[in-house]
Amino acid sequence: MAFSSILRRSASSLAPFAARALRSRRSCHSAVFAALNQSRIVAGEPRRGPLPPPRGYSTKRPGSDESLLRVLESEIQCAEEADDHDRVEDAPGGFPFEIEDKPGFQTITLSREYQGEEIKVEVSMPDLVTGEDDGDDNQDDDDEKASQSSIPLVVSVAKGNGQFVEFCCTAYPDEIVIDSLAVKNAENAEDQIAYEGPDFQDLDENLQKAFHKYLEIRGIKPSTTNFLHEYMINKDSREYLMWLKNLKKFVEA
């Protein structure tokens, strides 16, 4: 359909980021499995040789906990050596949103005001895909999208009268797809399921184009979402490292 050309950019711009993140995670896992094979202690199984307890560990801790701690430490070390966990991404020039990023959560929130409207965007962790394009020019749009990394977005536009419009979108490197939209009331948004209209792809093509333009002038465009792809990849690395450290603290307690 003609509307699919709206918001198009280069599809290859984010592939290196997705591949980098997955390669880093996989290399860490390989190191962990190697450490686990070297230090596995199964309850009830006699040791084949002396294995002193790790420094600082209680000798009363079960052997299985000691093994788990060794593996966690190996994974933490590997995650700390990755490039992504401490990378700070600067927003591009003209980025219109303020970013609220709370450690320990898998989403971030963007907010801005636009001509009396309050616009909020909830951005979730990316769905990373590193498969390479097979070069088939006849590949349909659905197959092409399935081979690209993406991030889910929920965009709400409120005008202060208690109602707001909510767009559920999927942002790909070269396109922003509107999956559904609904008009909601802030007072009962959590109590009732709003009617979301017909499938967005079934709407008149001109109406689809108009809604894409509606979002674009409010800042939901490829220059925004491409930055968010990399931002969320780096956040995923930071959250993973924090998760590992919290697990280690729990097992050590």
Helices of type H across the chain: 15-39, 63-81, 141-146, 205-216, 222-252
pLDDT band for 217, please (50, 70, 90 cuts): very high
pLDDT tens-digit map of 170-187: 999 889 999 999 888 877
Which has the closest alpha carbon to 168: 184, 160, 156?
A: 156
**138-161: b (≥16 Cβ within 10 Å) or e:** eeeeeeeeebbbbbbbbbbbbeee
List pLDDT tens digits, range 97-128. Answer: 999 999 999 999 999 999 999 999 999 999 88
Helix (H, G, I), strand (E, B) or coil at 186: coil
Give every strand in the sheet of 117-124, ordered side by side: 98-100, 107-114, 117-124, 151-158, 163-172, 175-185
The b-or-e profile of 69-95 (16+ CB within 10 A means b, else e) is: bbbbebbbebbeebebbeeeeeeeeeb
Q: Which residues pair with 177 in a beta bridge?
A: 170
Residue ranges of domains in the chain: 15-86+238-252, 96-236
Mean pLDDT of the chain: 78
240 vs 189, which has greater pLDDT? 240
pLDDT greater at residue 48 or residue 178: 178
| Dihedral-angle region of residue 104 (phi above 0 means left; psi in -120 to 50 means alpha; beta otherwise) | left
Whether the pLDDT of residue 248 is over 50: the answer is yes
Angle value at C-alpha 69, between 67 and 75, nearest 5 degrees: 110
How sure is the predictor about 52, in pLDDT bands with cuts at 50, 70 and 90? low
pLDDT in tens, 149-208: 899 999 999 998 888 999 999 999 889 999 999 888 877 656 567 777 788 999 999 999
96-236 CATH pick, 2.10.260.10, 3.30.70.120, 3.10.280.10, 3.60.150.10: 3.10.280.10
Higher pLDDT residue, 140 or 65? 65
Tokens of 67: 């093994």
Dist CA 74 CA 102 (whole Å): 26
In the chain, the largest separation of any two C-alpha atoms, in whole Å, equals: 74
